[in-house]
Amino acid sequence: MNGADTAWIIVATALVLFMTLPGLALFYGGLVRARNVLSVLMQCVSIACLMSVLWLVVGYSIAFGDGGGGNAIWGGLGKAFLAGITPETLSGTIPEVLFFAFQMTFAIITPALIVGAYVERIGFGFVMLFSALWMLFCYAPVAHWVWGGGWLAAMGVMDFAGGIVVHETAGLAALVIAFFLGGRRGFEKNDLTPPHNPGMVMIGASMLWVGWFGFNAGSQLAADGGAAMALVVTHISAATASLSWALYERIKHGKASMVGLVTGTIAGLASITPASGFIGPIGALIIGAVAGVLCQIAVGFVKEKIRIDDTLDVFAVHGVGGIFGTIMAPILAMGTLDEGQGLGTQLIALAAVGAFTLVMTTVLVKLTQVVYPLRVDEEVEFDGLDISAHGERAYDMAS
């Protein structure tokens, strides 16, 4: 065990959890109407709790197990309930129980990202059951393929911190659910209420930015120069994408908005994630500059061209950003690529994971609908989910 590596990953684990609680919760909560903000916070916190338990029970074993029937497709059940893992058991230079905790925070935030696609119109029971099934049967197997020694890892796929595992899967799942769910009231007539609290959005995005240092630099799993470089390129990409988003928004609409600026931040962070362990600062500038424009174009395409109400633009920002960064990783990589690494491998991985995610998410939506209705009724949606589903309000005076 290396004490410095262990100390850093403890910090990184806290930072990644901070991304969801409260970063993502506040970011999403500020973007919805006031009558639904509490429901968004509830969904994020509840998902964090449920995924933590499921990760202990069997999720970690499926993703990172190396026995108990594990193979190139799944990790088996040999590490269910952390069987055989003690404080002295190592994963590289850190305790395996710490590696379990670090990866748990990824298993938390990935289904939580999907929340942005269905806010304001979905049943709480559906959210909980679907998120549980999706983490176990979609996220955990993909994590094994890419990070757990599975078949994509053997091919040499480059996904340092989750462009494929986190952002592509969450983005495509969000698109599928939004498709089946249908648009919010007023979506078809383009009559939607703007975000109720842009200040909350900015605070949440800032927390995500800080937490993302643990997300990317922590994925080095060591306190070394590689972690330091991953931190630097993460910051540069976020800053650059924020500016390019705001500039493109100013050119298109005549004004740059706060919500737009920090959405660009998230686009830059998502895009740099898969490449953050392979590229340098110049590569980060390129990825950030393109991501701020590319993801903004994708927002318009999803809502205006294919008319899917992915409410908070999960696919356009996370899905498109993660896919873009995954493609750019070998193109902008510093130094010689290892055998198998290259654009062809990246495209195969993106296609395989994309197809698997689309099919599995569709199946899980249909299965969950057998138990819980997907969408709340019209009266509940009109009154807002805060009071209808949870019996509480976020504010004294709901708007």
pLDDT, tens only, 181-218: 999 887 877 767 889 999 999 999 999 999 999 999 99
Q: Which two structure tokens, joined as six digits, stand for 230?
A: 């991953």
- What is this structure's pTM? 0.96
Residue pair 158/333 in contact (Cβ under 8 Å)? The answer is yes
Q: To which residue do tokens 């506040």 refer?
A: 26
Q: What is the per-residue pLDDT for 188?
A: 79
- Cα atoms in the Cβ-side hemisphere of radius 13 Å centred on 230: 27
Q: Which residues of the chain have pLDDT under 50?
A: 398-399
- Classify each residue of 107-142 as buried b or exposed e, where b means 16 or more C-beta atoms within 10 Å of its C-beta: bbbbbbbbbbbbbbbbbbebbbbbbbbbbbbbbbbb
CB atoms within 10 A of CB 337: 15
- Calculate ∠ Cα 71-73-75, nearest 5°: 55
Q: Which two structure tokens, joined as six digits, stand for 321?
A: 């950003």
Domains and CATH numbers, the chain: 3-384 (1.10.3430.10)
Beta strands in the chain (DSSP E): 90-91, 94-95
Using only the alpha carbons of the chain, give its radius of gyration: 20
Helix ranges restricted to H, 182-257: 198-217, 225-253
Q: To which residue do tokens 């589903």 refer?
A: 389
Residue 384 backbone zone (phi > 0: left; psi -120 to 50: alpha; other: beta)? left
Q: What is the per-residue pLDDT for 343?
A: 97
Q: What are phi and psi of 132, to 5 degrees?
A: -65, -50
Q: What is the per-residue pLDDT for 398?
A: 46
**Strands 90-91 and 94-95, bridge-based pairing:** antiparallel
